[in-house]
Structure 1
């Protein structure tokens, strides 16, 4: 019976073949420009050019991490809101547009909390240049701290002097300074077209532009439709719910909490111009906004952070009624 065996020369040949294969694999991992084999000179020059280009961009501040840092420093710079002494909103006041927390009945997954209207530039375009490319996008972020990207200035569309009380039904503009006081961006909107619409809902787009036109004009209305005509021409209370509608198209400013956008600041809700009505022809909470002013107390930046008085606190009223019953 003959069995398969390897002779001594064959064993040497097989072992040498395995050794050559292992050496070849080690050579693939160890060889580099420093070994000076093959096109080592070209690789050295290429690494030197890459390092030179990196240092040049770093000195000029053109690296992506440097642009990202400057972008966030510009948009997240702290701002001081105007303090209302008489309880009303005036032209020239710095305010925040806040959509208060409410449950979304049409979707299971949505963004909770108080959402403020914020400037959201295109991330790729912002990294290519230090200046914002207009028109700029908008979104609603879950923040109540006044910063550069969510602080708006109320401007009168009639050319009235700063300091006049803003009234229901009066046309006004909402402006935002883009890092400097010289350039102003205005909240604008226009009819939906095939080339321009909101990103997720495909409804009427809301954006910021530096052109002054009738597309920048907005109006505030009282939320209760039964008292809307009676409040026409009355001063607008600060930190109270209002409806903000576009003068040119008649659409109301709305927040889509169930439609999220990916921004350089995280996930935020989409903002569009559309009026949502319930079965009673009443605007839904999506269209409700609050013009938030500053707080005179140093501990709280806005009036929303102040505790409610006992007369308006429902929990305090329930506790008082329970104690009275006992």
Structure 2
């Protein structure tokens, strides 16, 4: 395939596409197995019937860029689920306190928090959503839109809940573990972050999945795998992602999901 220039020289910010996609980011290394405020994580959906593994990713194009005061993306900016499972500027998000919890303290189930992009080129923008209306909704599915803004308001608050409804009450208030399946719920609208395998976006980075805030329930009123996320951290041994270094555990997790939905 011939190389296609995706930026204009008069923008004067260099190859922004490479800046977002290839610049490596160090994810958090958790010693106690839990997630903490200030941790840099990658949000991965394990895939399903009509989609592959994918990671929550900044979906910037030439119209999402600014060179003032320095080169970077600007708000609002889109979000998608990319199939490149690697920590980089596009896929790194910081678990950010919104209730005064100090950095380094443990994140608990049902506790409000924000997800923020890294500083520098990614500008420290907040993952945000709001009730859909005729003018503001996801482009393909027309469901509730999710994007990045610079406004740290109630619209950018989320919470983690256990993926199994029957165990949700038991886990409320308990520490959230890294590298396990959870749901990420938007606090204002109570809709779950979701990947849509049947809604494909053609982006600067290739074919990716649309991301919305919408809770998909099966016949047993349990959230489907569209809503299942893993907040990934680095392996303490320094050998990449825990998720990729433990494929047997990941495969077993997927089998359990399929078994639960087929009962």
State the TM-score, normalizing by the size of structure 1: 0.70
Displacement over 4 Å in runs of 4+: 64-68, 127-130, 312-315
Of 163, 183, 197 in structure 2, the residue corresponding to residue 223 of structure 1 is: 163
Of 11, 19, 42 in structure 2, the residue corresponding to residue 73 of structure 1 is: 19
Secondary structure of 1:161's match?
Answer: coil
C-alpha RMSD over aligned residues: 2.4
Q: Kindly state the Cα deviation for residue 121 of structure 1 after the two structures are TM-superposed.
A: 1.4
* 1:308–1:120 distance in 2 versus 1, CA, 3 Å: closer
Q: Kindly state the Cα deviation for residue 123 of structure 1 after the two structures are TM-superposed.
A: 3.4
Alignment partner, residue 170 of structure 1: 111
After TM superposition, list the pairs within 5 Å mapping 1:19-38 onto structure 2: none
Alignment partner, residue 323 of structure 1: none
Of 75, 78, 90 in structure 2, the residue corresponding to residue 149 of structure 1 is: 90
Q: Kindly state the Cα deviation for residue 167 of structure 1 after the two structures are TM-superposed.
A: 0.6
**Are 2:60 and 1:121 equivalent residues in the alignment?**
yes
More relative contact order, 1 or 2 (CA 8 Å, 6+ apart): 2
**Are 2:178 and 1:232 equivalent residues in the alignment?**
no
Secondary structure of 1:236's match?
Answer: coil
Structure 2: runs of 5+ lacking an equivalent: 1-6, 253-263
Of 291, 302, 306 in structure 1, the residue corresponding to residue 231 of structure 2 is: 291
Alignment partner, residue 201 of structure 2: 261
Partner Cα distance (1:120, 1:221) in 2:
26
Are the counterparts in 2 of residues 64 and 127 from structure 1 also a CA contact under 8 Å? no
* 1:301–1:185 distance in 2 versus 1, CA, 3 Å: same
Are the counterparts in 2 of residues 148 and 179 from structure 1 also a CA contact under 8 Å? no
Alignment partner, residue 256 of structure 2: none
**Which digits, 9 at most, give the CA deviation of each residue in 1:152-186, with x for residues without a partner?**
000111111101111100001000125359x4201
* 1:201–1:64 distance in 2 versus 1, CA, 3 Å: farther
Count of aligned pairs: 244
Larger Rg: 1
Secondary structure of 1:230's match?
Answer: helix
* 1:314–1:255 distance in 2 versus 1, CA, 3 Å: closer
Of 32, 45, 59 in structure 2, the residue corresponding to residue 99 of structure 1 is: 45
**Are 2:218 and 1:272 equivalent residues in the alignment?**
no
Partner Cα distance (2:64, 2:98) in 1:
31
Are the counterparts in 1 of residues 111 and 159 from structure 2 also a CA contact under 8 Å? yes
Are the counterparts in 2 of residues 169 and 220 from structure 1 also a CA contact under 8 Å? yes
Normalized per residue, the structure richer in helix is 1
**Which digits, 9 at most, give the CA deviation of each residue in 1:246-286, with x for residues without a partner?**
00011110000111111111110000010000111000000
Are the counterparts in 2 of residues 113 and 142 from structure 1 also a CA contact under 8 Å? yes
Secondary structure of 2:80's match?
Answer: strand
**Are 2:116 and 1:179 equivalent residues in the alignment?**
no
* 1:135–1:200 distance in 2 versus 1, CA, 3 Å: same
